[in-house]
């Protein structure tokens, strides 16, 4: 876990001196979790966590998550690393495990205790010895995957998202380099299983925990020690348990939509060698001619690869802006160009202030930022002032920067949507829109000039990835912040009383992608409860809200609704929609003690608002 | 090569971290004598000992462990 800073020297003392207030204690525990803890420290932190919070607290930044840990050998030693990795992401984790080796019986029963636990995630942590036994019995990889797929389906029937662990390549080869030619080889069976697992998992909607890839990265010895297998049937070595937890934690973060969205890059000695203000264009180390220069190119390529699959890139540098921009515009070996950077901030102000500005300009939360900077003082300052910003440990060695970003897995993503691939273009479109806004003198003229079309569809399989992504990622413009998994969305599609809307906004500068989701449910009295209404902040101020209401009112009325019932459930982040329903002409009918509210709109007298957006089904 | 005294001192630190309290180590001390010394703690002790002296125990090393004195002897033998 090289991306995390070393633990404080007074780790034990801080653990022993947690404040009595539960919220402060939780934050203190989360702060301690944000270090590269040894296995013993991880266990000690977990013991303190359990002692303080026997059941997961409801007040944490993220809602508690229930995970069924389904193992075929010893898994107890993995629990502390799992809970600590979840804590690191602000997620309180509740764990349930069947009796030793009883995962299949627990699912097939199903075990009433498992059904009562109602897992949201089922982690199939099956050891490779167990999987390879199928080969010994003459079974095929296909038969094994059939058996697993049936169990995945049972876990999904309980409402769980499925994670299947790939097999660690623990079996010693019998033949050699061409092991695959030996039909009965356990090593060849495990390799074939790992290869076939991916396609099958995709077909069944299960996610893969790529232990095999991790073993290739760090060496099998970092994960597996036969002595502990023989001693305690621990296939994941206890020394690797924190890393295992972290790997699962990333997936849990992604399932919960808590993965980071934006990589913020320092420039001097991070993106190139040297200081552009002192060394000038000819003096900075970048590009062919030196190993160091090549290494900075490799880091830029990696950043560009991330951008290509949807990570937003930003710059935060202490420089004069014109000087900082020059290499982007003119250096022949720069891989990153100004068009790749969605937000470019170069000045002499403090970096925490500039990171706040970047988050604000991009309309994302500070906890969506990963800040890469070679300077330990800057990293320390940001960690202290903005603990929600991820700050990987690195140096002026670009290879270490890549390794830290890989090790952190900050941008773990479960699926790739069209919106992800087009994100850089989306931000380029925003710049063109900004230019139009500056040219036009009045807002109406600007909105008319955009030539907007709102294209709506019900929920469907094609849109599933983006629907789930938006439901789990949207924090600010989100009235109820209800997080749904793919299973939950399918349940909405199957529910005759419910309807889901996915809305795509197009304009003359391009396709903004699917930017809003609404879920409504009509009851026998004709009340249409607005279960979910969320929108991407990048289309704020474009009249999407009243246009969406026009559509929602029409769809609800078509299903026999007489009134719309909206709800505002306050969170730390959604203050911007507190008056959403009042602004749209709803009547406020009640407030909750936590600042939430309920609002009603009678459809009989509803007059659709006139907007500059054309609504189209498609 | 660590001496027996150095090993005992190092193990005392490990035991203090594992159990969250000071444990007075004697060669004859066994798991039965220490409340909370279960198989989970046993593995923590072994793992931390391996880590501290940069060594790796074999299954035979572990099978021979009956008391703290055995652990000291294994570390001393491996450290040679």
Q: Tell me: the pLDDT tens digits for A376-427?
A: 999 999 999 999 999 999 999 999 999 999 999 999 998 877 777 777 777 7
Q: Answer yes or no: do A227 and B62 touch at CB < 8 A.
A: yes
> How confident is the model at residue A538, as a pLDDT?
82
Alpha-carbon distance A405 to A530, whole Å? 39
> Is the peptide bond between A110 and the residue preceding it cis, with omega within 30 degrees of 0?
yes
A123 contacts A163 by C-beta, under 8 angstroms: yes
CA distance to A228, A476, A480, A573, B5, per residue, from A596 (Å): 53, 15, 10, 13, 65
Q: What is the pLDDT of residues A73-85, one digit of tens each?
A: 999 999 999 999 9
Per-residue pLDDT, averaged over A30-59, amounts to: 93
Which DSSP string do the residues of A543-587 spell out, in sequence order?
Answer: SHHHHHHHHHHHHHHHTT-SEEEEEE---SS-GGGTTHHHHTTPE
Q: What is the pLDDT of residues A133-190, one digit of tens each?
A: 887 777 899 999 999 999 999 999 998 999 999 999 999 999 999 999 998 899 999 9
Q: What is the pLDDT of residues A505-550, one digit of tens each?
A: 998 888 888 999 999 999 999 999 999 999 998 888 899 999 999 9
A176 Cβ contact partners less than 8 Å away, ≥ 6 residues apart: none
> How confident is the model at residue A183, as a pLDDT?
82
> How confident is the model at residue A1, as a pLDDT?
83
> How confident is the model at residue A138, as a pLDDT?
79
Strand partners, A313: A263
With cut-offs at 50, 70 and 90, classify the pLDDT of residue A445. Answer: confident
| Nearest by CB: B47 against A12, A47, A238 | A238
Length of chain A in residues, anyone?
618
- The arrangement of strands across the sheet holding A207-209 comes to A93-96, A65-71, A121-125, A161-165, A207-209
Lowest pLDDT segment from A60-74, A91-105, A112-126: A60-74
Residues of B in contact with A238 (CB under 8 A): 43-44, 47
> How confident is the model at residue A436, as a pLDDT?
83
Q: Based on the structure, what is the number of domains in chain B?
A: 1
Angle at A95 (CA atoms; ends A93, A100), nearest 5 degrees = 160
B11 contacts B25 by C-beta, under 8 angstroms: yes
Which DSSP string do the residues of A408-444 spell out, in sequence order?
Answer: HTTT--S---HHHHTHHHHHHHHHHHHHHHHH-SSHH
Residues of A in contact with B51 (CB under 8 A): 38, 239
A610 touching B, CB under 8 A?
Answer: no
A121 touching B, CB under 8 A?
Answer: no
> How confident is the model at residue A354, as a pLDDT?
97
A430, pLDDT greater than 80: no
Strand partners, A264: A314, A371
Q: What is the pLDDT of residues A307-342, one digit of tens each?
A: 999 999 999 999 999 999 999 999 999 999 998 999
Instruction: Look at the alpha carbons of A153, A158, A162, A167 in this order and tell me if their dihedral is positive or negative.
Output: negative
Mutate to test the interface with A, among B13, B19, B39, B43 (most CBs of A within 10 A): B43
Q: How far apart are the first and last CA of chain B?
A: 6
Q: What is the pLDDT of residues A200-258, one digit of tens each?
A: 999 998 999 999 999 998 899 999 999 999 999 999 999 999 999 999 999 999 988 88
DSSP A353: H
The nearest CA of chain A is from the CA of B56 a distance in Å of 9
Alpha-carbon distance B70 to B64, whole Å? 7
B60, pLDDT greater than 80: yes
Residues of B in contact with A43 (CB under 8 A): 44
Q: Is A67 helix (H, G, I), strand (E, B) or coil?
A: strand
A437, pLDDT greater than 90: no
Alpha-carbon distance A444 to A441, whole Å? 9
Strand partners, A162: A122
Longest dimension (CA), chain A: 79
A268 contacts A274 by C-beta, under 8 angstroms: yes
Q: Answer yes or no: do B59 and A230 touch at CB < 8 A.
A: yes
Q: Is A40 helix (H, G, I), strand (E, B) or coil?
A: helix
- Whichever domain contains B14, its CATH number is 1.10.1200.10
B33, pLDDT greater than 90: yes
A257 contacts A473 by C-beta, under 8 angstroms: yes
Q: Answer yes or no: do B59 and A227 touch at CB < 8 A.
A: yes
With cut-offs at 50, 70 and 90, classify the pLDDT of residue A375. Answer: very high
Q: Answer yes or no: do B43 and A76 touch at CB < 8 A.
A: no
A480 contacts A569 by C-beta, under 8 angstroms: yes
> How confident is the model at residue A417, as a pLDDT?
76
Residues of B in contact with A230 (CB under 8 A): 59
Q: How many other β-carbons are positioned within 10 Å of the β-carbon of residue A17?
A: 9
Among residues A573, A480, A596, A481, the alpha carbon closest in space to that of A529 is found at A480
Structure tokens at A72: 């075929």
Strand partners, A518: A501, A533
Per-residue pLDDT, averaged over A275-297, amounts to: 92
Strand partners, A527: A563
A437 contacts A446 by C-beta, under 8 angstroms: yes
Residue with tokens 């807002």: A443
Q: Is A479 helix (H, G, I), strand (E, B) or coil?
A: coil
Per-residue pLDDT, averaged over A102-123, amounts to: 95
| Nearest by CB: B20 against A38, A44, A77 | A44
Angle at A198 (CA atoms; ends A195, A201), nearest 5 degrees = 140
B24, pLDDT greater than 90: yes
A56, pLDDT greater than 90: no
With cut-offs at 50, 70 and 90, classify the pLDDT of residue A280. Answer: very high
> How confident is the model at residue A433, as a pLDDT?
84
Structure tokens at A109: 């029963």
Structure tokens at B1: 């090569």
Helices within A256-375 (DSSP H only): 276-283, 291-308, 321-330, 351-362
What range does the domain containing B25 cover? 4-78
A48 contacts A78 by C-beta, under 8 angstroms: no
Structure tokens at A394: 């690195």
Q: How many other β-carbons are positioned within 10 Å of the β-carbon of residue A604?
A: 7
Residue with tokens 């850089």: A424
Alpha-carbon distance A347 to A325, whole Å? 11
Q: Is A591 helix (H, G, I), strand (E, B) or coil?
A: strand
Alpha-carbon distance B49 to B26, whole Å? 16
> How confident is the model at residue A59, as a pLDDT?
80
Strand partners, A533: A518
Alpha-carbon distance A402 to A503, whole Å? 37
A62, pLDDT greater than 90: no
Model ipTM value: 0.93
Q: At CB < 8 Å, which residues of chain B contact A? A: 17-18, 20, 39-40, 43-44, 47-48, 50-51, 56-59, 62
Percent above pLDDT 90 for chain B: 86
> How confident is the model at residue A462, as a pLDDT?
84
What domains are defined for chain A?
62-255 (3.40.50.1110), 262-408 (3.40.50.1000), 443-617 (3.40.630.30)
Residues of A in contact with B44 (CB under 8 A): 39-40, 43, 238
CA atoms within 13 A on the CB side of A156: 21
Please list, residue by residue across A83-113, b when 16 or more beta carbons sit within 10 angstroms of its beta carbon and e when fewer do: bbbbbbbbbbbbbbbbeeeebbebbeebbee
Percent above pLDDT 70 for chain A: 100
């Amino acid at each position: 876990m090289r991306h995390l800073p070393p633990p404080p020297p007074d780790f034990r003392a801080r653990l022993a001196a947690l404040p009595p207030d539960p919220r402060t204690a939780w934050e203190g525990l989360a702060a301690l979790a944000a270090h590269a803890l040894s296995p013993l420290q991880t266990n000690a932190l977990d013991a303190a966590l359990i002692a303080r919070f026997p059941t997961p607290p409801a007040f944490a930044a993220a809602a508690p998550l229930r995970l069924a840990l389904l193992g075929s050998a010893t898994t107890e030693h993995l629990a502390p690393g799992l809970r600590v990795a979840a804590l690191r992401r602000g997620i309180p984790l509740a764990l349930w495990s069947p009796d030793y080796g009883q995962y299949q019986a627990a699912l097939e029963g199903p075990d009433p205790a498992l059904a009562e636990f109602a897992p949201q995630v089922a982690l199939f942590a099956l050891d490779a010895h167990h999987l390879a036994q199928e080969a010994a019995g003459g079974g095929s990889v296909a038969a094994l995957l059939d058996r697993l797929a049936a169990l995945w389906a049972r876990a999904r029937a309980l409402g769980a998202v499925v994670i299947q662990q790939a097999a660690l390549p623990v079996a010693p080869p019998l033949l050699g380099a061409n092991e695959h030619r030996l039909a009965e080889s356990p090593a060849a069976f495990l390799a074939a299983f790992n290869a076939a697992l991916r396609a099958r998992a995709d077909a069944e909607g299960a996610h893969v925990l790529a232990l095999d890839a991790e073993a290739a990265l760090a060496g099998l010895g970092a994960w597996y020690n036969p002595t502990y297998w023989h001693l305690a049937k621990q296939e994941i070595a206890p020394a690797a348990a924190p890393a295992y937890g972290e790997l699962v934690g990333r997936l849990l973060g992604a399932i919960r939509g808590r993965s980071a969205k934006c990589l913020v890059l320092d420039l001097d000695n991070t993106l190139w060698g040297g200081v552009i203000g002192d060394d000038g264009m000819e003096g900075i180390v970048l590009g062919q001619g030196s190993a160091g220069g090549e290494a900075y190119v490799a880091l830029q390529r990696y950043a560009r690869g991330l951008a290509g699959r949807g990570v937003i890139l930003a710059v935060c540098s202490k420089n004069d802006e014109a000087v900082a921009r020059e290499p982007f515009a003119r250096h022949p070996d720069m891989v990153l160009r100004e068009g790749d950077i969605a937000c470019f901030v170069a000045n002499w102000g403090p970096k925490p202030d500039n990171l706040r500005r970047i988050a604000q300009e991009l309309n994302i939360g500070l906890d969506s930022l990963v800040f890469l900077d070679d300077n330990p003082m800057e990293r320390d300052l940001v960690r202290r002032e903005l603990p929600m910003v991820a700050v990987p440990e690195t140096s002026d060695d670009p290879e270490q920067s890549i390794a830290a970003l890989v090790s952190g897995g900050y941008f773990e993503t479960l699926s790739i949507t069209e919106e992800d691939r087009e994100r850089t273009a989306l931000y380029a479109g925003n710049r063109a829109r900004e230019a139009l806004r500056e040219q036009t003198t009045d807002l109406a003229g600007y909105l008319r000039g955009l030539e907007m079309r709102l294209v709506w569809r019900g929920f469907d399989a094609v849109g599933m990835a983006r629907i789930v992504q938006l439901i789990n990622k949207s924090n600010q413009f989100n009235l109820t912040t209800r997080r749904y998994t793919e299973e939950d969305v399918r349940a909405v599609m199957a529910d005759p009383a419910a309807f889901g809307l996915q809305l795509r906004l197009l304009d003359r500068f391009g396709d903004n992608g699917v930017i809003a989701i609404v879920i409504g449910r009509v009851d026998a009295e004709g009340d249409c409860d607005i279960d979910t209404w969320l929108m991407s902040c990048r289309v704020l101020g474009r009249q999407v809200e009243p246009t969406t209401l026009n559509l929602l009112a029409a769809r609800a009325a078509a299903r026999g609704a007489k009134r719309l019932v909206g709800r505002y459930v306050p969170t730390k982040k959604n203050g911007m929609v507190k008056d959403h329903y009042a602004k749209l002409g709803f009547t406020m009918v009640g407030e909750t003690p936590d600042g939430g509210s309920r609002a009603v709109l009678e459809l009989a007298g509803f007059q659709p608002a006139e907007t500059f957006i054309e609504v189209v089904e498609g | 090569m660590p001496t027996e005294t150095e090993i005992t001192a190092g193990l005392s630190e490990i035991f203090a971290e594992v159990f969250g309290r000071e444990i007075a180590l004697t060669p004859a001390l066994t798991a039965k004598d220490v409340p909370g010394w279960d198989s989970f703690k046993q593995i923590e002790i072994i793992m931390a000992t391996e880590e501290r002296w940069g060594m790796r125990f074999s299954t035979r090393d572990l099978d021979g462990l009956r008391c703290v004195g055995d652990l000291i002897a294994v570390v001393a033998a491996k450290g040679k």
